[in-house]
Amino acid sequence: MKRAVFLDRDGVLNEPVVRGGRPYPPTTVEELRIVPGALPALQRLKQAGFTLIVVTNQPDVGRGTQTWEGVNAINEILRSTLPVDDILICFHDEKDNCNCRKPRPGLILDGAAKHGIHLAASYLIGDRWRDIDAGTAAGCITLLIDYRYRERAPMTAPSYRVESISAAVDRILERERLSN
């Protein structure tokens, strides 16, 4: 089975819009800013043989404050700019109580089934507690890009805390090198 790196979108691949210490997704392609270092970092993961799967909550669609087309336009720019293999999206709000909305592991489990991924040999990179809890529940090694948002901590501590996507990839590749 293959190994993957599951990546949150907002805050990991693109810069979040931070208001009041809390991160929000860009609402338009004009607001989209890819995180510095994301392209070379993901290229390094691809060269190491990882499948790259984006797993993202986009509840503003379910809430009526963003459109599917708006989310898709942002995702298309990410697909055309970064070497990602798939983008899996949960459009639900918390009240929908779905299995795909992080912190539940549904998106990760779906991605693993779709791509033949061995979860215990895979990683999740996120910037929020929901990402880390979903990755832990799926059995992945977790890396938190710690922006020190004003929100609660994950239920389980991340495997690693890092300051950027580049540092997360360095940690993954170093861990892989040491385990071989």
CA torsion 116→118→122→126, rounded to 10°? 60
Residue 136, phi then psi, degrees to nearest 5: -65, -45
- For the question of residue 10 being annotated catalytic, the response is yes
8 is catalytic: yes
d(CA 79, CA 59): 20
Which residues are catalytic, by number? 8, 10
